[in-house]
Structure 1
Amino acid sequence: MTLTLDRQTSPQQALNQRVFNFSPGPAVLPLPVLQEVQRHLLALPGAGSSVLEISHRSPAFDAILEEAEANLRELLAIPADYRVLFLQGGASLQFSMIPINLLRGQDLPASYILTGSWGGKAAVEARREGRVHVAWDGKADNFVRVPNDGELDLPPASAYVYYTSNETIQGVQFRRAPGVGAAPLVCDASSDFLSGPVDVSGHGLLYACAQKNAGPAGLTVVIVSDEVLEQCGDDVHSMLSYRRQAEKGSRLNTPNVFGVYVFLLVTRWLRDEVGGLEAAAERAAAKSAMIYDVLDRDGGEFFVSHAERECRSRMNVTFRLRRGDLEEAFVAGAAELDLVSIKGHRSVGGFRISAYNAMPVEGVERLRDYMLDFRASH
């Protein structure tokens, strides 16, 4: 694909060219957010400069940062004794920052609940800093489910217990946080962040990269308790230290100003237009149910679902075709209907339908109808 610069395209023409983008991330953003960015890209109201140009220490960015945090606290009901950090490096950097801060030099192991690819990658990085105890591993069953609390093999004490709330690649999701006792609970919430209410107080640390449900790539949101901050080691490089980042208000270096701005707009959209996280959860359940209903009615005859029913993700629906030779035709036919980025990860194959918060219901309806038509014609 070659990108060309077309100075003749009007905003309306650009709008008409938009497709239904089911990418797992970077993912679709709410159209009202994109339009707000477009309106104010040349000059942020009151700043006289683009948000791409303002200083990270300007009053304009002070206001952006303050409202972004306030909105997030309101949406998630974040307790007062938790800090909100706006960092960089994606979820992948958190795979390292967490054990660097919480496991390095500890006698206790860190316990990892492995429900898919991303949890496995996090455990690899943790082993560089200390002992890792695998409390549960779904690899033998090809990561088709998440465990019940009774299946967790937890030691008497852990430096922390780590889990991934929604595995983007395999399409499995925890409906609630696992019960792990007194150890700090750490959650990678990257692909279901802000898709429904979360008990933040039940976690010591919760983080998410923004590019699935909360903004553009390049921003990572970390929510960490004061208690966990006190447990962080001192012998940590400043940029990798949660404590130092908290002390400097996420401005130890130049933060992703634009990313935080778009995140702010997304939180406004969630609050004012979606109606909060309870409403977001209802939307997510309804959209994913459209696709799962097709899979269930088919019964595995034509479409084969990956995840077990009670553990299915409401963000990433994974399935394949019984006849693998038809999968390329399925992708091509979908693209003709402006349904794009539906191919599954290479480790799972088949298809992955990522219906994040900003995916319009109309896109999921069109995909559902296409699935039914494709099955009928093959």
Structure 2
Amino acid sequence: MTAHTPTFAQSVWLVAEREIGSKLRSKAFLISTGILFLIALVSVVWGGFAAQSQSATPVAVTSQTAPVVASLGDSVDVTQVSDADEARGLVADGTVDAAIVPGGAEPFGYTIVADSSPPAGLMQMLSLTPPVELLNADPTDGFARYIVALGFGLVFFMAALTFGSTIAQSVVEEKATRVVELLISAIPVRALLAGKVVGNTILAMGQIIGLAAIAVIGLTVTGQSALLSGLGAPIAWFAVFFLFGFVLLAALFAAAGAMVSRQEDIGSTTTPLTFLVMAPYFLVVFFNDNELVMTIMSYVPFSAPVAMPVRIFLGTAQWWEPLLSLAIMLATCAAAIWVGAKIYENSILRMGARVKLSEALAG
């Protein structure tokens, strides 16, 4: 009786199951995932409650509109001025956050004047919402923009770096212990690589889905429905971009691990990839308000998973831009898989000194 030889797809799934099972049996992985989810939940809830706890809001009023804020007590810091033009001047130079001036549609009889975004805290204090006049309209609140950019950047950075490093370490461990020789005697080398990528991608996407669920729950509990409604499409696009971006990086991390034979040498081949993962996080944090930089980042495959969802949240991306960026991502992903597979295949059985990149590509 001849032994059944698994197909390529079956081989890939066998390796993927092995990767998933080993992680789910690891207490360190489960504890770190639990801590990550807890930190995310605490951050979302704390941010929501912090946004709701407002200090006294500086407000300028005229003699006609002073009664409007009379019942608000210590929640507003009132500055009374002679006319509406003077009130607008105080808003323009930043002396007050908002001004309440005469005029406006019924039943209000007054209008709130603000600089770049509606004063949400003041509007919540008033029993009715009057018309809002913006001197310098800004479609998105600056703090919300920064928090969303930071969130997407941090999630991509942590997930890609954590799982990417794990893949590289796993490859080196199998190579050092000669386990890889047993594995490739039963399944193709490329099936081994593909299984590692698929298994870790499933685990990484599981964490992304879990973090998205936590964000939805946290924003709902803290009453941030406006922010939640604006995050629906960006989170969906982030998941799509992250999927292909992670596959791209996972293939390269596996190839980097195959080029060395000792755990101590991993840093020499994975450091360039680490910088590629770190760059989008720092760029999106520091340049989230720079439209030119964000536009360029949204078309670079290594930063598109972070920059494009942020631009979608800000409303600055045209409907076709995510599709074009995704097409570039898919093409780059295919090229990275091809290069990574070639390096992995040519390096996985070579022991001793680090394999040079030119040798790994040439075979």
Q: Normalized against structure 2, the TM-score is what?
A: 0.23
Which of 1 and 2 has greater Rg?
Answer: 2
Q: Greater RCO between the two (CA within 8 Å, min separation 6)? A: 1
Higher-strand-fraction structure = 1
Q: Normalized against structure 1, the TM-score is what?
A: 0.23
